[in-house]
Amino acid sequence: MKRNLLFLALLVALGSCNQGQKTDTAVAETPVETPKQSFGIVIHGGAGTILKKNMTPEKEAAYKAKLEEAIRVGYEILENGGSSMDAVEKTIHVMEESPLFNAGKGAVFTSEGKNELDASFMEGATLNAGAVAGVTNVKHPISAARMVMEKSPHVMLAREGAEVFAKEQGLEIVDPSYFYTERRMNSLKRAQEKEKIELDHDDKTAAFYDADIKDSKFGTVGCAALDKNGNLAAGTSTGGMTNKKWSRVGDSPIIGAGTYANNKTCAVSSTGWGEYFIRGVVAYDIAAMMEYKGVSLQEASSEVIQNKLTELGGTGGIIAIDHDGNVAMEFNTAGMYRASMNASGELYIGIYKE
């Protein structure tokens, strides 16, 4: 009896926690499905000062079309009983191949005019993980991250070493010029002009408050998925920060900050001002809060992004999915390119705050 009351209280609590979530309905609408077969996928294409007034209808349509194309690739894999790891990897490939996002083909330039790419990958069933930092010639950094996880005894490989490994594993190697885009080169030039002004004024952080440069620094892509076997996975891929120096490493290749997945709780991918995501251990913090405080994914995500990250001064967002298929898409910026699909095939695409 006591147990039933407790269970009831838990249900009420969970019900109130899930307000505003979109994908819970899937299971309710298709009662023939057992909970085991619940599945879902959620992606982001970066968070930042994304304002409707700065968008053309064409640009908006292009982003939405690419987000839909990407998420449908992963959704199909999941629907056909494929693994969340395959769904995450293949979905991210689509975004890495698009110049719209700051990952793969659309990567931003370092201060030396190079493209240095980071990615990480994590499997919720085993807590296995892999990451690469600063690769310049691997077409799909997310696949290099997965390879590090599956084919090396290591979790994180950097720069030339990671490139040698990726080549040894037979991954597609491209000439670094593959990553050249005029748009990103212009961002670098703008950032470097801005920097000159900063040096004159002795204010080394001003660039962070320039919306153009802030935007060009965001655009990381990520994906989190739950498959029909109840396995979670997450991945993140980025070109880093425009005009970055000193081989800066952001949060995207850092397990716990940029990416985290654990079947016990959730799978998370981060995007935003990486330094704050590292200091806040953001991706893992959401999972830890769920595990140790027993709160819902939505509650944990909201607390971490809207309160903890914001208090620290950081900007950005996360996408996440939990072991029941509930999805969270939290950000404290003006916008975040994002999409989700649930087990019923319902598609959600968003860019701005709603």
Question: Helix, strand or coil for residue 82?
Answer: coil
- Please choose, from the candidates 224, 221, 220, the residue with its C-alpha nearest in 3D space to the C-alpha of residue 42: 224
Backbone φ, ψ for residue 103 (5° rounding): -165, 145
Question: Quick one: which segment of 35-43, 218-226, 248-256, 334-342 binds a copy of itself (CB under 8 A)?
Answer: 248-256
- Contact status: 255 vs a copy of itself (CB under 8 A): yes
Per CB under 8 A, the list member of 87, 129, 267, 319 interacting with a copy of itself is 129
Candidate list 220, 238, 265, 315, residue with the active-site label: 220
- Contact status: 211 vs a copy of itself (CB under 8 A): no
Dig out the tokens for 316 from the structure: 């950005």
For helices 141-151 and 84-96, what crossing angle results, to 10°? Answer: 150
How distant, in Å, are the alpha carbons of 30, 154, 208, 255 from that of 34?
9, 37, 48, 32
Active site residue 271: no
- Contact status: 279 vs a copy of itself (CB under 8 A): yes
DSSP secondary structure of 158-226: EHHHHHHHHHHTTPPB--GGGG--HHHHHHHHHHHHHHHHHHHHT-TTGGGG-HHHHHHH---EEEEEE
Residue 247 Cβ, how far from a copy of itself at the closest point, in Å?
Answer: 3
- Alpha-carbon distance of 282 to 287, in angstroms, equals 9
Q: Which residues, 145 to 174, sit near a copy of itself by CB under 8 A?
A: 152-162, 164-165
Per CB under 8 A, the list member of 24, 227, 285, 322 interacting with a copy of itself is 285
Burial of 206 (C-beta count, 10 Å sphere; 0-12/13-18/19+)? middle
**For a copy of itself, which is the closer residue by CB, 44 or 244?**
244
- Alpha-carbon distance of 319 to 301, in angstroms, equals 9
Number of residues that bind a copy of itself (CB under 8 A): 46
- Alpha-carbon distance of 102 to 240, in angstroms, equals 7
Backbone φ, ψ for residue 129 (5° rounding): -155, 155
- Alpha-carbon distance of 27 to 231, in angstroms, equals 17
- Contact status: 114 vs a copy of itself (CB under 8 A): no
- Contact status: 281 vs a copy of itself (CB under 8 A): yes
Residue 248 Cβ, how far from a copy of itself at the closest point, in Å?
Answer: 5
**For a copy of itself, which is the closer residue by CB, 164 or 347?**
164
- Alpha-carbon distance of 188 to 184, in angstroms, equals 6
Per CB under 8 A, the list member of 8, 127, 199, 347 interacting with a copy of itself is 127
- Contact status: 353 vs a copy of itself (CB under 8 A): no
Residue 142 Cβ, how far from a copy of itself at the closest point, in Å?
Answer: 17
- Please choose, from the candidates 309, 311, 343, the residue with its C-alpha nearest in 3D space to the C-alpha of residue 326: 343
Residue 273 Cβ, how far from a copy of itself at the closest point, in Å?
Answer: 10
**For a copy of itself, which is the closer residue by CB, 94 or 249?**
249
**For a copy of itself, which is the closer residue by CB, 190 or 279?**
279
- Contact status: 141 vs a copy of itself (CB under 8 A): no
Q: Which residues, 30 to 49, sit near a copy of itself by CB under 8 A?
A: none
337: Cα within 13 Å, side-chain hemisphere: 27
Per CB under 8 A, the list member of 94, 142, 289, 343 interacting with a copy of itself is 289
**For a copy of itself, which is the closer residue by CB, 63 or 218?**
218
Question: Quick one: which segment of 54-62, 77-85, 201-209, 328-336 binds a copy of itself (CB under 8 A)?
Answer: 201-209
Contacts to a copy of itself by CB under 8 A: 122, 127-129, 133-134, 152-162, 164-165, 204-205, 208, 245-250, 254-257, 260, 274-275, 278-281, 284-285, 288-289, 292-293, 312
- For the annotated catalytic residues, the residue numbers are 220
